[in-house]
Structures are given as C-alpha cells and as structure tokens.
Amino acid sequence: MKKLINKPENFVDEMIEGIILAHPDMVRTPGEDKRIMVRADAPRKDRVGIVTGGGSGHLPLFKGYVGAGLCSAVAIGNVFSSPSSDQIFQATKAVDGGAGVLYLYGNYGGDVFNFDLAADLAELEDIETLTVLGRDDVASQPKERSADRRGVAGIIFAYKAAGAAAERGDSLKEVAAAAEDIIENTATMGIGLSPTILPTTGKASFDLPDGEMEIGIGIHGEPGIHRGALETADEVAERLMRPLVEDLGLSSGDRIAVLVNGMGATPLEELYVLYRKVHRIAEELGLTVEKRYVGEYATSLEMAGASLSLLKLDDERLALLNAPASSPFFREG
C-alpha cells in the first residue's frame, strides 16, 4: 500500500511535529522530548491534570484529545506500542497544578505497566495520582470479567466527562469518580473489514480475506467473536447494537449517547448509513438518543470498519458531555 510518509522510523515524530505546528494555540511540547504533548496553558493552578497515552496509529485517539475541557497531556508511543514510564512521568510533572493528576487510558498490558511505574515516580515527587482504565470493549471479555476488557473508542466519553469535571474545579477523587462512572456505563463493539498496514513494515497487521468481516475485532487486530461473509449495513448494526443494549441493561425509557466511529478507511457516508439503523433500533427499543457522534474518533491507521459505543445517560453524565471543550480534533459546546 502506498503511504504519504518519509522515513518510516520518523513517522511518529514528524506527525507530532505537524500537529503542534498546526495548532500552536492549543498544544505544545513541555521540553525536548517530542513524545509528550500538553495543552498550551498547562499547568493550571489548583486544577486536576489529566494524562492519557498509548501507541500511535489511532489518531485522533490520545493525541487529539488534549485541550480545554479534555485531557491535559498525552505521552505518545510508537505505532501500537506503549509510551515509556519516563515520558508519562514527564507529562505528569508538566501538568501538575497542585491538585493531583488523573491517569486515564486504555486497558492494555504495556500501558498499565508503564503508567504504574510513572505513578511510583510521581509519588516520590509528592504528586498524587489516581488511575481509571478505559475498558469498554464488550467483545474482549464477558460481563463478569468486565474489569479485564480492552479500552477502545468509548474512552472518548470518559475524556469528556473527566475534562469537564476538572475544568469546574472538582477534586482528584471527584474527577476520577466521574471518569469511572462513565466507563462503567459505556459499552463498545467493532467490526473490521480490512487490516491495517504498519508504516514500519508496509505489511498487514492481520489477515482478513476479501468479502469477509470480523465482528468484535480489536483496534490492533485482536481476534473478534465472529468472522464470516460481509453483511449489509443494517445487519451489521443489529450485530453491534443488540449485545451493547444487553450488556448495559438498557430498557425502554432509558437515555443514551451514541458514538459511531470510523476505523480509518471507511467513508463518512457509510458511517451515517450505519447510524441510521442504530438510531432506528434505539427507537424500536424505546431508547432516547440524547447525544450523537458520527466520525473518526479512534482509528487503526487505515483499517476499514467501524465501532459502535453506547453510553447510558443520566442528568449528570449528560451535563458533563455538554460542557464546553476544545482540542485539535474535538469541539463541544
């Protein structure tokens, strides 16, 4: 596959440089390490800092959600690889305004290991940290093992809620509680139609024959729960929607937020076709869609496919979603 890059080994650093040059009013690097990006006005005195991070290849996920009303900083790894503990620690110091720092990121082994190490380093500097893990991928583990689920696109809801809580001056425990509440009420499932092509090797990250789809696929190509012939958009919507409704225990009268997310190579037109059926299913079930997001929010390079995230809403969750926010890739309010 043809790619618009220079040297593959420079791909991540040059991408980060491009983001900072394009959005200097929103983000900057706090030091010499280009793999750390913070909001332009960080640190903010007496406000909780929020640090996220993970591998590259998922833009706008991680890097695209640093800004007002969202995350304070991001530590950036190579493609599909964790950032280092030192990078996370440096990001922590850069956004600590004296009220503590929340670590909010996806539930992947390498990320957990390095964020935990960074928390130990922060403790030595008298910086209080708390951790909330995104774990919304219902296909990765059954309900009784939800604590072990992978974190995927649904973490966007948690970024929004935690960022809004921090912006209004909530304590570290309160910001963490807001994020945890969102995570516990979010469920996501994805469908893959084609693999990603890694820029460092030029090779596909997994095999998926022409004419086939994989339901429940992970954002790095982790195996899903069903592989078979490609179905219609309406049939796919049914396959994604029903398990999420069941997992969240949704029933008639409940309110939800819906995120139809493109994986990187699916036209926006197709995402709206998918949303159309999701919305109709919600109506049939007596669910009220209060918030809707359609577009690319968490990608896997050029994987074709989509994911569907549902968030069960109450008045507080909706208020946090509606709060103003602004980053290079997100606007709200």
Catalogue the active-site residues. 58, 220
Contact in structure between 264 and 159 (CB atoms under 8 Å): no
CA dihedral 257, 260, 263, 265 (to 10 degrees): -150
In three-state secondary structure terms, 104 is: strand
Q: Which two tokens stand for residue 178?
A: 């807001």
Length of the chain: 333
Q: Which parts of the chain fold into alpha helices (H)?
A: 11-22, 85-95, 109-124, 155-167, 172-184, 233-248, 268-284, 315-322
CB-based burial of residue 43 (10 Å sphere; 0-12 exposed, 13-18 middle, 19+ buried)? buried
What's the rounded Cα separation, in Å, for the pair 146 and 129?
Answer: 23
What's the rounded Cα separation, in Å, for the pair 91 and 37?
Answer: 7
